[in-house]
Amino acid sequence: MPVVIVVGAQWGDEGKGKVVDYLTKKAEIVARFQGGHNAGHTVVIKDKKYVLHLIPSGILHKGTTCIIGNGVVVEPSALIGEIEGLRAKGIPVKKNLLVSKNAHLIMPYHIALDKACETSKGKKSIGTTGRGIGPTYVDKMARSGIRVGDLLTPELFMEKLQANVRHVNVLLKNLYNQKGFSAKKIFDEYAGYTRKLSVHIADTDLIINRAIAAGKNVLLEGAQGTLLDIDHGTYPFVTSSSAVAGGACTGLGIGPTKISKVLGIVKAYTTRVGSGPFPTELHDATGELIREKGGEFGATTGRPRRCGWLDTVILKHAAMINGLSGMVITKLDILDGFSTIKICTGYRYRGKLLTEMPKELGIFENCIPVYEEMAGWQGSTAGISSFSKLPKEARAYIKRIEELVGVRADIISTGQKRDELITLREHF
Ligand code: GDP
Ligand code: IMO
Ligand code: MG
């Protein structure tokens, strides 16, 4: 009966995919509410690895309906590629995958604009995934976007497309000195996508609300993370969508009164891909070791992730903004073998101690972390599924995180695979 939201509590890649796959065991519906194929959610089942970009991480369970909500931006060829990739691995993708008519389409010119804009920014670039995410949300907010439902009425689709291409070609030519696009070519290309996708296009708001009314278990899967949120992240070094819990309501058309729980996914240390401030980033051998042990390379772009110690200042911010009811602490096993582990409890800025995340980018990027040191553990936590079996230092680490963030840990993940985790509280 509950409706549970899963959100990233840091800068993405916290292990949301693994957690969503695990919780899907008891969920009848799993829905993505924002972002696009900039996301890379990894699920490992036995010796098979799946990386989901647009399709909810619940797709690997039989009998679950997966929804791509109105808040998501959809690049149709990427979606088709993902569907075909799953089918090739023996995963059925039919009517169990539904895409909202109101989700906005990423068009080829959005991708060109994303790349051109990044290049023009030079050293000040955001380090986007180059998937056209930002420009697509720009068109959505400017009320000139083209939606998935428009694919079903070709005349309307062409009318909107022609208006957009006219506008975009002026920009590309005059601002970025690039070639423009042909509306006819895009129209023909997208007609091919429509043939493959039309069976999946649906009124997903009705479907999800009827499921909630019928008492079904519903899981809402966030992409990116709180610090990448357009409003509450480290703006402008963020993505262009609402990656926080509030985004689940608007991104699917579910009223806030229907939400039961909000789970924040917290990696046992911190990582970030792309540019922007990251106070606890390590530029030394320890950072390198975490990257190596944690396999911290982007699931979407393959870029090495920046690594550092856990930052509880940003986690307190995430707890507040999302109203977290619980945390899932992931990748605890990656910290095995460290003699000491540091936790950031505050920042020093021009001699002053800050215990809340500053809103000003200029201050945040010059914050020096204040650390508390804890003893590490030497044994292996890999695959442990009971809290009492964890080394006492690992238990102390979890307890300290709970105290500092003010939210309890409901699940602790100790490995990549589906059942490598400790469940302290059930969610469905
Ligand atoms: P997401 O974007 O939040 O879904 O996270 P990613 O899939 O981009 O990155 C998380 C990575 O950590 C993936 O390779 C997961 O398989 C892996 N992972 C998740 N939880 C654990 C864990 O507890 N231990 C280890 N060793 N790996 C994990
Ligand atoms: P998941 O869901 C980590 C980052 C990019 C860049 C910024 C803006 O796997 O956690 P965009 O292409 O969205 O305009 O890029 O956001 N970014 C992510 N970082 N995990 C993600 O998704 C990300 N999606 C976008 O690296 O810094
Ligand atoms: Mg990821």
Those residues with Cβ within 8 angstroms of residue 155's Cβ, 6 or more apart along the chain or in another chain: none
129 alpha carbon – ligand 2 mean position (Å) = 6
The pair of structure tokens assigned to 113 is: 């604009």
Does residue 144 sit in the same domain as residue 123? yes
Distance CA 379, CA 358 (A): 38
| Structural domain span for residue 29 | 3-101+203-423
Write b or e for each residue in 257-290: b if 16 or more Cβ atoms lie within 10 A of its Cβ, otherwise e. Answer: ebbebbbbbbbbbbbbbbbbbbbbbbeeeebeeb
With H, G, I as helix, E, B as strand and everything else as coil, classify residue 251.
Answer: coil
41 lines ligand 1 (CB under 6 A): yes
Output the CA–CA distances (angstroms, integers) from residue 390 to 14, 328, 386, 409, 412, in the order listed.
21, 16, 7, 14, 10
* 139 annotated active-site: no
Phi, psi of 348 (to 5 degrees): -110, 130
Domain count, the chain: 2
152 alpha carbon – ligand 2 mean position (Å) = 30
Cα distance between the two ends of the chain: 7
Judge whether 395 lies within some domain: yes
Q: Determine the atom of ligand 1 nearest the C-alpha atom of 265.
A: 3
Q: Whose CA is nearest to atom 26 of ligand 1?
A: 415
- Condensed to tens digits (0 to 9), the pLDDT of residues 321-377 reads 999 999 999 999 999 999 999 999 999 999 999 999 999 999 999 999 999 999 999
131 lines ligand 2 (CB under 6 A): yes
Does residue 222 sit in the same domain as residue 368? yes
Does residue 330 sit in the same domain as residue 193? no
Residue 228 pLDDT > 80, yes or no?
A: yes
Distance CA 334, CA 287 (A): 12
Does residue 180 sit in the same domain as residue 306? no
The whole-number average pLDDT for the span 250-269 is 98
Closest CA to 274 of 40, 77, 105, 52: 40
Those residues with Cβ within 8 angstroms of residue 150's Cβ, 6 or more apart along the chain or in another chain: 105, 156, 157, 160
The pair of structure tokens assigned to 165 is: 């291409």
Tokens 């509450």 -> residue: 232
| Domain end call among 184, 200, 216 | 200
Residue among 136, 228, 330 to mutate when testing ligand 2 (max atoms within 8 A of CB):
228
267 lines ligand 2 (CB under 6 A): no
Does residue 185 sit in the same domain as residue 253? no
Judge whether 428 lies within some domain: no
Closest CA to 211 of 80, 91, 104, 58: 58
| Domain end call among 152, 178, 200 | 200
Q: How large is the C-alpha radius of gyration of the chain?
A: 21
Closest ligand (CA of 126): 2
Q: Which CATH number goes with the domain that contains 349?
A: 3.40.440.10
Closest ligand (CA of 335): 1
Judge whether 414 lies within some domain: yes
Does residue 32 sit in the same domain as residue 94? yes
The whole-number average pLDDT for the span 57-82 is 98
Closest CA to 13 of 321, 235, 262, 271: 271
Residue 223 pLDDT > 90, yes or no?
A: yes
354 alpha carbon – ligand 2 mean position (Å) = 27
Q: Which CATH number goes with the domain that contains 195?
A: 1.10.300.10
- Residue 107: the pLDDT is 98
CA torsion 270-275-281-285 (nearest 10°) is 110
Residue 300 pLDDT grade (very low, low, confident, very high; cuts 50, 70, 90): confident
- Residue 397: the pLDDT is 98
| Domain end call among 152, 185, 200 | 200
Q: Determine the atom of ligand 2 nearest the C-alpha atom of 225.
A: 10
Does residue 190 sit in the same domain as residue 226? no
Residue among 33, 239, 305 to mutate when testing ligand 2 (max atoms within 8 A of CB):
239
- Condensed to tens digits (0 to 9), the pLDDT of residues 389-410 reads 999 999 999 999 999 999 999 9
Closest CA to 237 of 276, 273, 271: 276
Does residue 323 sit in the same domain as residue 301? yes
The whole-number average pLDDT for the span 1-28 is 97
The pair of structure tokens assigned to 125 is: 């670039």
Residue 150 pLDDT > 90, yes or no?
A: yes
18 lines ligand 1 (CB under 6 A): yes
Does residue 63 sit in the same domain as residue 208? yes
Does residue 336 sit in the same domain as residue 362? yes
Q: Determine the atom of ligand 1 nearest the C-alpha atom of 42.
A: 7
Which residues neighbour ligand 3 (ion) by CB within 5 Å? 13, 40, 299
Does residue 351 sit in the same domain as residue 293? yes
DSSP state of 224: S
Distance CA 50, CA 17 (A): 10
- Residue 302: the pLDDT is 86
Closest ligand (CA of 239): 2
Does residue 115 sit in the same domain as residue 60? no
121 alpha carbon – ligand 1 mean position (Å) = 31
Contact 272, 335 (CB under 8 A): no
pTM given for the model: 0.98
The pair of structure tokens assigned to 350 is: 């021009």
Beta strands 340-349 and 368-375: pairing type? antiparallel
* 41 annotated active-site: yes
Beta bridge partner(s), residue 5: 220, 262
The whole-number average pLDDT for the span 376-381 is 96
